[in-house]
Structure 1
Amino acid sequence: MVDRKDVGSWLEGPSSRTQGTGEWPGQRLGLAQHGPGSVARFGRRFVGLVIDWVVALLIAHGLFQVPLPFSEHAATGTQSFIVLGIFAVMNVLLVGTIGTTIGHRIMGLQVRSVAGGRATPAQALVRTVLLCLAIPAVIWDRDGRGLHDKVPNTVIVRVR
């Protein structure tokens, strides 16, 4: 059962619930406090997400002539869904097979199952659907895991 004390949001930030308690994000999951094997912090995850979105946008531009941001033509709603669809397919395929997206790889991150090892294809699918809904990604627990990671029982960790 998820308790309100365990769930925060981007308004509070994950550190507000663990400051002064001697706990760190991921301690309850048996993860390291710092370095490889620790829970990836928001900044690294956000940069990885931006990289993945740019890659999806470039693929959409190349395959479907979706206008790039800041061009003279704005993308339509349908074109925006094309980019989201490409982003989703990239996430399901890459996280479900190698455990990392292009942005995650660049930032030194990997999606792992809390049970151990890489995320399964089923976990990657559930995680991606929730990530694409956006709201679950901005609500997280004291371990820094968004609902898009909590539901499929995954966690993003640093690999370097």
Structure 2
Amino acid sequence: MARSTGSWLSGPSAALPKGEDGTENRYKGELLGLPETGPGSLVGTGRRLAAFMIDWLMGGGVALLFLGGNALDGRLGSIILMVWFVVGVVTVSLFSFTPGQFCVGLQVARVDAPVPVGVVRALARQVLLVFVVPALITDLDGRGMHDRATGTALVRSR
């Protein structure tokens, strides 16, 4: 009788199709047809985090403008989250990047076709990002589960 623990203890490579073990990838993004370096290549965690921090701080500034002198009444975190969410959906659907991603040279790209991300994918991606955990779980290419679910990838723009 086969052991059922091998599939979940084997790590991320256990989810690959039969016959693929993930060792033939020379770089992250190769399976997606993305270049190894330069524009269009996948980005690492550091640049993603820097873009997120810029977006969050910008959302904090806008939230402080909304609240005025009542910044410490307990609503600041919720308003920052709402501003960050709306800015993320609008800018990714219109321009394929958030202001923070633009500052660090990143953009959101679809991996299935060379077309803009669109409102539906941008909305689904942002909803998943609110929960944080999908962004922390990555595949062999380093894409978060929010990117896998929406068919997108965060790539270098310059």
Identify whether the pair has TM-score above 0.5, normalized to the shorter chain: yes
4+ runs deviating over 6 angstroms = none
Q: Note the C-alpha offset of 1:117.
A: 2.6
Q: Note the C-alpha offset of 1:120.
A: 1.2
Normalising by structure 2, what TM-score? 0.81
Look up the equivalent residue of 2:148 and give its one-letter code: K
Q: Note the C-alpha offset of 1:144.
A: 1.2
**C-alpha contact 1:113 1:120 (8 A) present in aligned 2:** no
SS of aligned partner of 2:147: helix
1:123-159: CA deviation from partner (whole Å, max 9, x where unpaired): 0000000001111110011111111111111001101
SS of aligned partner of 2:127: helix
In 2: Cα distance, 1:148 partner to 1:4 partner:
19
Partner of 1:12: none
Partner of 2:137: 139
SS of aligned partner of 1:128: helix
Q: Does 1:97 align with 2:94?
A: yes
In structure 2, runs of 5+ residues without a counterpart are 1-9, 15-20
Question: Aligned-pair RMSD on alpha carbons?
Answer: 2.2
Look up the equivalent residue of 1:158 and give its one-letter code: R
Map residues 61-100 of structure 1 onto 2, 5 A cutoff: 61-65=64-68, 67=71, 73=72, 76=74, 78-100=75-97
Q: Between Structure 1 and Structure 2, how many residues are aligned?
A: 141
**C-alpha contact 2:25 2:31 (8 A) present in aligned 1:** no
**C-alpha contact 1:111 1:154 (8 A) present in aligned 2:** yes
How many percent identity over aligned positions? 33
In structure 1, runs of 5+ residues without a counterpart are 8-16, 68-72
**C-alpha contact 1:39 1:155 (8 A) present in aligned 2:** yes
Q: Note the C-alpha offset of 1:108.
A: 0.6
In 1: Cα distance, 2:49 partner to 2:12 partner:
24
In the alignment, which of 115, 118, 141 is matched to residue 117 of structure 1? Answer: 115
Greater Rg over alpha carbons, structure:
2
Normalising by structure 1, what TM-score? 0.80
In 1: Cα distance, 2:104 partner to 2:65 partner:
25
Q: Note the C-alpha offset of 1:6.
A: 4.5
SS of aligned partner of 1:137: helix
Name which structure has the greater RCO, CA cutoff 8 Å, separation 6+.
Answer: 1
Look up the equivalent residue of 2:12 and give its one-letter code: K
Partner of 2:6: none
